[in-house]
């Protein structure tokens, strides 16, 4: 049985567990797509919102992948910050 970050995380709530179970079959593909897009962005990197837009996917499906990839050591926080869709500053991710 896989565990986080190789399996989607959840908050031990029924709805969170259901969401994790639903995304599990797609997890590897989404992680690979996310890592590739972040690496392709080079030193400019991508925020989670920018990553979701680049992949033409919902932010809520993509943002958790950044946490998983960081935990795996495949991407890192660049130290840069850019505004996200709410205007708040967001981490800019780059390849590790």
Domains assigned to the chain: 33-95 (1.10.10)
Q: Which residues contact 13 (CB under 8 A, 6 or more apart)?
A: none
Quick check: 5 and 68 in contact, CB under 8 A? yes
Backbone dihedral angles phi then psi of residue 95, each to the nearest 5 degrees:
-65, 145
Q: What is the reported pLDDT for 10?
A: 62
DSSP-derived letter for residue 43 is G
Residue 11 has pLDDT above 60, yes or no: no
pTM, 2 dp: 0.76
pLDDT score at 26: 58
């Amino acid at each position: 049985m896989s565990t986080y970050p190789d399996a989607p995380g959840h908050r031990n709530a029924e709805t969170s567990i259901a969401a994790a179970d639903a995304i599990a079959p797609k997890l590897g593909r989404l992680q690979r797509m996310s890592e590739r897009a972040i690496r392709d962005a080079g030193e400019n990197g991508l925020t989670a919102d920018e990553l979701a837009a680049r992949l033409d996917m919902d932010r809520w499906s993509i943002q958790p992948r950044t946490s998983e990839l960081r935990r795996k050591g495949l991407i890192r926080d660049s130290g840069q910050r850019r505004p996200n869709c709410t205007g708040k500053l967001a981490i800019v991710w780059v390849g590790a």
